[in-house]
Amino acid sequence: MKFVLFTLLLSTVLVSGCSSLGVKPWEKDILARDDMALESASMDSSFDDHIYFSKEASSGGKGFGGGGCGCN
């Protein structure tokens, strides 16, 4: 329980502190690259997830979207 509270607190701090971080919408040329996508090899990741789930006791935790060109 303490661990959960700590994590939530840490993420709140991160999120609020994050408002000063970042780049202008037109400075995302590098972030827009295919190889800079968070899930740049989704086939590989899902195969790996399946293999490690069958061979080990842990699973998941990996996440979702964000980053990229930030367009639209």
Give the binding site for other proteins (CB under 8 A): 3-4, 7-8, 11, 14-15, 18-19, 21-36, 38, 40-44, 46-47, 51-52, 54-67, 69-72
Helix H or strand E encompassing 13? helix 2-17
Minimum Å gap between C-beta 36 and other proteins is 6
Least gap, CB of 33 to other proteins (angstroms): 7
What span, in angstroms and rounded, lies between the C-alpha atoms of 45 and 53? 12
User: Rounded CA gap, 24 and 36, in Å?
Assistant: 17
CB of 12 to other proteins, least distance (A): 10
